[in-house]
């Protein structure tokens, strides 16, 4: 039995924001039923019981959306009680939540701190960048409200990290964003390239991120991070941490950097289980919690087909010197050929230019981090 990690969407695709680049709204709109309803406590109990039965060593629950706080604080209070009820000796339970921060108040922050929830907060830098895309349904920006949540989380000593979406504009403004994050003393950062709608040609959306922009972004964020590292100031940037760790001989912890898909157990509001947050689509439904054991879903024909599609290595990658670390990126960014075959990553040029231009510095960073770890 493995360590189990479950992603739960307790509020399905419902959200109190209407971000322009919201990939989940698009994914949900590609299903027969875009809103699957709020996850019931009965279903949540079944999720916890099934996960605990399957897990060995550790069992992680990551709540996300839509906006997962819309399920209400009561829901989570019941969740932690259920986790206690089903806890098995030798299995550690971890909870995390990815939120837009709009609902976060004193009561939420106290709860997160008390139950050691790791909070991921979505924030795209200073107001003028964040408010371009992260808006309320009336079009107003959400930056001021999110910054209020930052203060509340700080006040209650909640562990949190920042998730910033990389659009074309954000990529071009990375100096400004990084300086802003530094000024706020954020220590844990994640930068995720925006996703464009499924089945739509790239480049039509105003937030489009080109391969060239992403390549420049990767170099600039690395340089900013590396300058700080050399001064003895370590900031965690998830994708860079993964590359450094891979160069030390470890497997990446981020699925999108491992070169192939894995089954992640994403649970929708009706208990439906899917293999990846990016593919919560009818064709990839693995089953329903409580109807089939997770183990059976992981071994199902649909799961096998999903993983297998990511195994193809294009000829360009086979011959590419940076393939051991690049691995053709996340499958969601790979181009789909006529006939459905999955090919080269859309950001190939970005990865190639980053790894070839910053190879020496990456190894220097590995050395600095190893020295740092030795001195801790």
CB 183 to ligand SF4: min, Å:
24
Is residue 69 close enough to count as binding ligand SF4 by CB under 6 A? no
100 binds ligand SF4, rule: CB under 6 A: yes
Interacting span for ligand SF4 (CB under 6 A) from 76-84, 153-161, 256-264, 283-291 = 256-264
- Determine the 3-state secondary structure of 232 from DSSP: coil
H or E element that contains 58: strand 58-63
Among the listed residues 277, 282, 333, 343, the single catalytic one is 277
CB of 326 to ligand SF4, least distance (A): 3
Contact letters for ligand SF4, residues 105-124 (x by CB under 6 A): -----------------x--
Which CB sits closer to ligand SF4, 48 or 160?
A: 160
CA distance 220 to 218: 6
The packing angle between helices 106-114 and 73-86, to 10°, is: 10
User: What is the rounded CA–CA span in Å between residue 232 and residue 195?
Assistant: 34
CB 273 → ligand SF4: shortest distance, Å?
Answer: 14
Q: Please state the closest distance from residue 373 (CB atom) to ligand SF4, in A.
A: 28
The C-alpha R_g of the chain, in whole angstroms, comes to 20
Determine the Cα–Cα distance for residues 135 and 15; give it in Å rounded to an integer. Answer: 11
Coil/strand/helix, residue 271:
coil
- Is 105 an annotated catalytic residue? no
Residue 204 to residue 127: CA distance in whole angstroms? 25
Query: DSSP letter string over 83-133?
Result: HHHH--TT-EEEEEEEE-STT--HHHHHHHHHTTPEEEEE--SSHHHHHHH
Binders in 258-287 for ligand SF4, by CB under 6 A = 261-262, 276, 278
* Interface segment toward ligand SF4; rule CB under 6 A; list 47-55, 241-249, 254-262, 294-302: 254-262
Alpha-carbon separation of residue 233 from 125, 159, 192, 228, 374 (angstroms): 20, 19, 23, 5, 16
End-to-end CA distance of the chain: 34
Report the distance separating Cα 242 and Cα 144, nearest Å: 32
User: How many residues line the site for ligand SF4 (CB under 6 A)?
Assistant: 34
CB of 331 to ligand SF4, least distance (A): 4
Residues 297-356 that bind ligand SF4 (CB under 6 A): 310, 316-317, 320, 322-323, 326, 328, 330-332, 344-345, 348, 351-352
Rounded distance, CA 230 to CA 364, Å? 10
* Footprint of ligand SF4 on 118-177 (CB under 6 A): 122
* Identity of the residue, 177 or 261, whose beta carbon is nearer to ligand SF4 in the bound complex: 261
Tell me which of 22, 52, 266, 289 binds ligand SF4, using CB under 6 A.
Answer: 22
Which residues of this chain interact with ligand SF4, rule CB under 6 A?
Answer: 15, 17-19, 22, 24-25, 65-67, 100, 122, 255-256, 261-262, 276, 278, 310, 316-317, 320, 322-323, 326, 328, 330-332, 344-345, 348, 351-352
Where in the sequence numbering do the catalytic residues fall?
277
């Amino acid at each position: 039995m493995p360590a189990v990690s479950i992603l739960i969407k307790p509020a399905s695709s419902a959200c109190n924001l209407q971000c322009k680049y919201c990939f989940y709204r698009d994914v949900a709109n590609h299903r027969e039923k875009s809103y699957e309803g709020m996850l019931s406590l009965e279903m949540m109990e079944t999720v916890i019981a099934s996960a605990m039965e399957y897990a060995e060593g550790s069992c992680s629950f990551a709540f996300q959306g839509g906006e997962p706080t819309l399920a209400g604080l009561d829901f989570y209070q019941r969740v932690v009680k259920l986790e206690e009820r089903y806890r098995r000796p030798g299995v550690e339970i971890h909870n995390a939540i990815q939120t837009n921060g709009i609902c976060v108040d004193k009561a939420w922050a106290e709860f997160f701190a008390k139950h050691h929830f790791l909070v991921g907060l979505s924030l795209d830098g200073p107001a003028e960048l964040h408010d371009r895309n992260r808006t309320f349904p009336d079009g107003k920006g959400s930056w001021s409200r999110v910054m209020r949540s930052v203060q509340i989380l700080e006040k209650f000593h909640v562990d949190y990290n920042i998730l910033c979406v990389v659009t074309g504009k954000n990529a071009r403004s990375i100096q400004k964003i990084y300086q802003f994050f530094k000024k706020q003393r954020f220590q844990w950062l994640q930068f995720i390239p925006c996703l464009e709608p499924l089945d739509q040609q790239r480049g039509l959306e105003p937030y489009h991120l080109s391969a060239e922009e992403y390549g420049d972004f990767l170099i600039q964020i690395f340089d900013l991070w590396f300058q700080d590292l050399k001064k003895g100031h370590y900031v965690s940037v998830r994708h860079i941490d993964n590359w450094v760790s891979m160069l030390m001989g470890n497997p990446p912890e981020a699925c999108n950097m491992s070169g192939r898909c894995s089954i992640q157990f994403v649970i929708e509001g009706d208990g439906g289980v899917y293999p990846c947050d990016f593919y919560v689509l009818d064709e990839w439904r693995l089953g329903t919690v409580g109807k089939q054991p997770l183990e059976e879903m992981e071994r199902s024909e649909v799961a096998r087909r999903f993983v297998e599609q990511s195994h193809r290595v294009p000829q360009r990658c086979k011959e590419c010197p940076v393939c051991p670390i690049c691995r053709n990126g996340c499958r969601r960014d790979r181009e789909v050929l006529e006939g459905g075959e999955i090919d080269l990553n859309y950001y190939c040029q970005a990865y190639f230019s980053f790894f070839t231009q910053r190879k020496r510095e990456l190894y220097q960073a590995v050395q600095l981090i190893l020295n740092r770890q030795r001195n801790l």
